[in-house]
Amino acid sequence: MSARRPRIAILVFPGSNDDRDAAWALSALGGEPLLVWHADAELPRVDAVVLPGGFSYGDYLRAGAIARFAPAMEAVVAFAGDGGPVLGICNGFQILCEARLLPGVLRPNASLSFVCRDVSLVVERTDTPFTARCEPGQALTIPVKHGDGCYHAPPGLPDEQVVLRYSPGENPNGSERDIAAVVNADGNVLGLMPHPEHAVDPLLGSGDGALILASLVDAARERSYEHA
Amino acid sequence: MAEQPLHRALGLTDGELDRIRGLLGRDPNDFELGVFSLLWSEHCGYKHSAPLLRRFPTEGPAVLQGPGENAGVVDLGDGWACAFKVESHNHPSAVEPFQGAATGVGGILRDVVAMGARPIALLDGLRFGEPGFAFDRAVGGIGHYGNCVGVPTVGGEAVFDPAYRENPLVNAMCVGLLPSERVTRARATGPGNLVVLYGATTGRDGIGGASVLASQELSDEDEDKRPTVQIGDPFTGKKLIEASLELVEGGFVESLQDLGAAGLASSLAEMAGRGGAGLDVQLDRVPLREPELEPVEIMLSESQERMVAIVAPERLAAVEEVCARWELCCAVIGVVTESGFLRAFHDDEEVGAIPVSYLTEETPRYRLETAPRVLAPPSEQTPMRAERAELLALLASPNVRSRRPVFERYDHLVGSRTVRRPGLDAAVLRLRPSLRGLAVSLDGPGRAAALDPRAAGARAVFEAARNVACAGGRPLALTDCLNFGSPEKPEVSWELAETIEGMARACEVLGIPVVSGNVSLYNETDGRAIPPTPVVGCVGLVADVRAVPGAWQQGDAVLLAGGEDASLDGSEYQSRFLGGPAGRPASPDYVAEAALIHFLWRSAARLSAAHDVSDGGAAVALAELALHSGIGAEIDLGADALDWFGEGAGRAVVACPPERAETLEGVPLRRIGVVGGEKLLGASLAELRAAHEGGTP
């Protein structure tokens, strides 16, 4: 018997770019992706939500600042409040911060320049729905590509909420404390600047992003059994 | 100063005005004169270059669409096809590099979308006087547009030469994928079908861009021309791409056409011309971004992010629904007729009526007067000892140094297809879910072009194809952008003719067609023309992306494949150490060049690495491979500068396990060393890297 394919919503805003990439990657890793239009006020029945990368609303005003008002975001807030796993990648991370589902804010890179390259990351926590397949302290190679990825943490952000850090000397954007991924206090909403969906097919470079996305598929599958 | 007549202000000659009068049998009104001036400009009408362009082979078994459409299309097999084209945006980029480059990217994206294809790659050929503010702004503009619309920028080149200081070149190439049975053509057919304009609103920007800016020389007074440069909005561009693809995939449109140079005037005339139909357009129905535009301004505006679709009346509601969902303006502005006229109305009043064929077929054709130039003889090649310091200096020179700082400002990964990233020869995109791939490159000649234009033309074609072959791709077809000075000068015309001859011969010997392209003439400032600059894009098919050559491995044999007749004339070495380009570069051996390209893609699966020998010669190619692979090699190139730094012979460096080297055949092969160690040609990898990347060891 094959394992159930859990349904995972991928929000599509005007200007989302990595929505199809995320759908392809999640599908390859055993999920059933559903593209959900930003104007829809309700989510279909899903077991996880992904906010993909891109330039929603052209990053006008401020990255993620307009997308947070999309009708679908109200449904995402409710889904997260119910304990559902929500993953925001790059622009998705920016939107989650703007929506106050995650602490802190993403500022323009310290270089003031867009940067696209592979970076080395260190896994700080493996007890999240997004990193369960990783080993503590494991090094992952996953690309970044962003202009506004400099994470500014609120004062007193506990270390427990830092899930991934850039390896020493690898910080591409000036993020405080080398933070690359942050989880909320409840542990079910994660934002990260690197793009795991671009590191699933080893022929394209690294396959390390599959560990993150497959962890999410696992968590979604578990939730689908609980809610069956 | 006396006011000049309107037609001259619009860039038309007195003779051209007489021709218009003769065709119409009356005086054109000002509206009609404006339309003629754009359609008959060099940029739209190719009035100087069209006869020469016929020299290119344009047909082949894989060609689904040759020149004459928004982009060329070739069949890839497996039900897929690829649409691609390169286009210049030189003059706007000279006046305003950021927006000029950004809108160049936007325009070429829409050309590919108009064929019904999803854009999957961008490449950019940049030529500037020196690295600096203007170049940096152009790179910024490309990233601004390409990153935001979610199309990866995977390649291109940056060349620096003082000859481009006043007249930089920005050539943008886009490659798109589409199902091979869905090639969409920009033809207005079916009387009664509706003309639908969708996308951004129309404003006063970019009016006269094609005629005034792109088809005349630049001068000190170009400050005034800044308003003729368009402003790009990549967010709207992204929505336009997605909406257009939905329209095509849904089968809602008969055809699509980008609005580029000369705006509605050229788009409508070209669609009607290709479809053999007439069009009536109601200009007052065009959604405007500012009030009170004159009819002629609406007709000629080059506002960005707009497309025209021909829609059957019963599918209009579906088209409107798609545009509304993507929050784009959408308006029925006209109808296809049988009249053969392009007729424009404003508030029900006819403002102009011109037979379509006068605009598209009766464009003046000028016989070019050519003045051959005697080529300089080859320089005396006196033996000179190659020095390690020279290699390091060449690696650090602006034309050779690492392009990483440029490519890292571009998203080259979106789409999840990029198997081979930018930096070495061609990029490779996986044609998921298959293991096949598309290799893409964009190349122009270096400084040698002015010394021998025919050789430069051939070399541009060979280099583009060789780069694709080094990545394991079998070259399928080409697109080209011809950047030259004023064709009204006999010496420039000769350069143009010679370059085209060299390119055409190279295409013939390779057996691959040119399926799309663009001509950018009048690249002159204060009477000084740029050197002949043919920029060639090549797409090739990779049978299995797992076999794309990458890094060389410990113990590999290193071989030099291809010709022996390198020269220092026209080389980077000559420019750097011997006082500038002089003499005559090596003449291409057409048959040997073709054999090398064939050898490279056929052997790719057996090679660990393959890299084209170009700027800086074999020594630089070896250094680049060593740095790419992170391991050095014991190499014996001899001691002479010609052997280290000579260019133009049509060569590649290849590496493979020694036992496999015996199986390679088809071209002259010379074993020059073995992979291993931390050094290359007397320099440590750290020194090489510091030179190439601009850091300190």
pLDDT digits (tens, 9 = 90+) for B639-658: 999 999 999 889 999 999 99
- pLDDT for position A60: 87
pLDDT digits (tens, 9 = 90+) for A151-193: 999 999 999 999 999 999 999 999 999 999 999 999 999 999 9
Task: Round to the nearest angstrom and report the end-to-end CA distance of chain B.
Answer: 62
- pLDDT for position B231: 80
Per-residue confidence band for B310, with pLDDT thresholds at 50, 70 and 90: very high
Per-residue confidence band for B208, with pLDDT thresholds at 50, 70 and 90: low
pLDDT digits (tens, 9 = 90+) for B154-169: 999 999 999 999 999 9
pLDDT digits (tens, 9 = 90+) for A1-21: 467 899 999 999 999 999 999
What is the mean predicted confidence (pLDDT) over B426-453?
Answer: 92
CA angle B362, B366, B372 (to 5 degrees): 160
Per-residue confidence band for B215, with pLDDT thresholds at 50, 70 and 90: low
C-alpha span between B559 and B4 (Å, rounded)? 65
Q: Which domains does chain B have, with CATH numbers?
A: 10-40+185-359 (3.90.650.10), 549-693 (3.90.650.10)
**In chain B, what residues touch A56 (CB-CB under 8 Å)?**
none
Per-residue confidence band for B216, with pLDDT thresholds at 50, 70 and 90: low
Mutate to test the interface with A, among B411, B421, B693 (most CBs of A within 10 A): B411
Tokens of B382: 């006196």
- Of residues B150, B326, B327, nearest to A17 (C-beta): B150
Show which residues on chain B lie within 8 Å of chain A, measured between beta carbons: 143, 147-150, 233-236, 238-239, 325-327, 407-419, 421, 430, 432, 545-546
- pLDDT for position B383: 84
- Residue B6: strand pairing partners: none
Q: With an 8 Å Cβ cutoff, are B409 and A113 in contact?
A: yes
- Of residues A20, A60, A203, nearest to B430 (C-beta): A203
Q: With an 8 Å Cβ cutoff, are B235 and A21 in contact?
A: no
Q: With an 8 Å Cβ cutoff, are A14 and B327 in contact?
A: yes
pLDDT digits (tens, 9 = 90+) for B31-73: 999 999 999 988 788 888 888 999 999 999 999 999 988 999 9
Q: CA nearest B66: which of B516, B511, B538, B535?
A: B516
- pLDDT for position A1: 47
Any long-range contacts for B288-292 (C-beta under 8 Å, 24+ apart)?
B288/B201, B288/B202, B288/B203, B289/B200, B289/B201, B289/B202, B289/B203, B290/B203, B290/B204
B170 membership: H or E segment, kind and range: strand B169-179
* Nearest chain B residue to A18, by CA: B414
**In chain A, what residues touch B326 (CB-CB under 8 Å)?**
14
Across chain B, mean pLDDT equals 92
What is the mean predicted confidence (pLDDT) over B389-413?
Answer: 95
Q: Which domains does chain A have, with CATH numbers?
A: 7-226 (3.40.50.880)
- pLDDT for position B697: 45
pLDDT digits (tens, 9 = 90+) for A53-79: 999 988 888 899 899 999 999 999 999
Q: With an 8 Å Cβ cutoff, are B413 and A15 in contact?
A: no
- pLDDT for position B695: 60
B468, B452 Cβ separation under 8 angstroms? no
- pLDDT for position B210: 53
**In chain A, what residues touch B148 (CB-CB under 8 Å)?**
15, 55, 58-59
Is the pLDDT score of A138 beyond 60? yes
- pLDDT for position B222: 54
Tokens of B376: 């300089």
Please state which of the ranges A9-18, A53-62, B75-84, B595-604 shows the lowest mean pLDDT. Answer: A53-62
- pLDDT for position B380: 85
A77, A99 Cβ separation under 8 angstroms? yes
Per-residue confidence band for B401, with pLDDT thresholds at 50, 70 and 90: very high
B71, B176 Cβ separation under 8 angstroms? yes
- Of residues B234, B415, B421, nearest to A21 (C-beta): B415
Q: With an 8 Å Cβ cutoff, are B147 and A55 in contact?
A: yes
pLDDT digits (tens, 9 = 90+) for B331-382: 999 999 999 999 999 999 999 999 999 999 999 988 889 999 999 999 987 8
Report percent pLDDT > 90 for chain A: 93
Rg over alpha carbons for chain A, rounded to the nearest Å, is 16
- Which amino acid type is present at position B165? R
Tokens of B596: 């090398």
Phi, psi of B610, deg, nearest 5: -150, 135
Q: Which residue has the tokens 């940056």?
A: B158
Catalytic residues of B: 43, 89
- pLDDT for position B219: 59
Q: With an 8 Å Cβ cutoff, are A58 and B233 in contact?
A: yes
Q: With an 8 Å Cβ cutoff, are B235 and A14 in contact?
A: yes
Tokens of B72: 């060329």
Catalytic residues of A: 90, 195, 197
Mutate to test the interface with B, among A10, A12, A17 (most CBs of B within 10 A): A17
- CB atoms under 10 Å from CB of B662, counted, come to 9
Helix (H, G, I), strand (E, B) or coil at B63: strand
- pLDDT for position A62: 87
- CB atoms under 10 Å from CB of B591, counted, come to 9
Q: With an 8 Å Cβ cutoff, are B545 and A115 in contact?
A: no
B279 membership: H or E segment, kind and range: strand B278-282
**In chain A, what residues touch B415 (CB-CB under 8 Å)?**
20-21
What is the mean predicted confidence (pLDDT) over A106-122?
Answer: 97
- Of residues B150, B236, B413, nearest to A116 (C-beta): B413
Mutate to test the interface with B, among A111, A142, A145 (most CBs of B within 10 A): A145
Q: With an 8 Å Cβ cutoff, are A205 and B148 in contact?
A: no
C-alpha span between A39 and B675 (Å, rounded)? 58
Q: Which residue has the tokens 């020149």?
A: B67
- pLDDT for position B201: 94
Written in H, E and C, the secondary structure of chain A is: CCCCCCEEEEEECCCECCHHHHHHHHHHCCCEEEEEECCCCCCCCCCEEEECCECHHHHCCCCCCCHHHCHHHHHHHHHHHCCCCEEEECHHHHHHHHCCCCCCEEECCCCCCCEEEEEEEEECCCCCCCCCCCCCCCEEEEEEEECCCEEECCCCCCHHHEEEEECCCCCCCCCHHHEEEEECCCCCEEEECCCHHHCCCHHHCCCCHHHHHHHHHHHHHHHHHHCC
**In chain A, what residues touch B430 (CB-CB under 8 Å)?**
201, 203-204
- pLDDT for position B679: 95
- CB atoms under 10 Å from CB of A177, counted, come to 13
- Tell me how close the Cα of B601 comes to any Cα of chain A, in angstroms: 19
How high is the ipTM of this complex?
0.95
Show which residues on chain A lie within 8 Å of chain B, measured between beta carbons: 14-18, 20-21, 24-25, 37, 39, 53-55, 57-60, 113-117, 143, 145, 147, 195, 197-198, 200-201, 203-205
Per-residue confidence band for B150, with pLDDT thresholds at 50, 70 and 90: very high
Phi, psi of B670, deg, nearest 5: -125, 120
- Of residues A114, A143, A201, nearest to B147 (C-beta): A114
pLDDT digits (tens, 9 = 90+) for B441-461: 999 987 778 999 999 999 999
What is the mean predicted confidence (pLDDT) over B307-335?
Answer: 97
C-alpha span between B111 and B257 (Å, rounded)? 8
- pLDDT for position B1: 45
From start to end of B533-600, where are the E strands? 533-542, 557-562
C-alpha span between B396 and A52 (Å, rounded)? 39
- Tell me how close the Cα of A20 comes to any Cα of chain B, in angstroms: 8
Is the pLDDT score of B316 beyond 80? yes
- pLDDT for position B217: 61
Question: CA A205 → CA B353, B416, B418, B565, distances in Å?
Answer: 58, 10, 9, 38
What is the mean predicted confidence (pLDDT) over B631-635?
Answer: 97
- CB atoms under 10 Å from CB of B511, counted, come to 11
Phi, psi of B100, deg, nearest 5: -60, -45
Question: CA A150 → CA A92, A114, A191, B414, B641, distances in Å?
Answer: 14, 11, 13, 21, 47
* Nearest chain A residue to B437, by CA: A203
Q: In sequence order, which residues have a C-beta less than 8 Å from that of residue B553 and are 6 or more positions away?
A: B608, B629, B631, B655, B657, B675
- pLDDT for position B207: 72
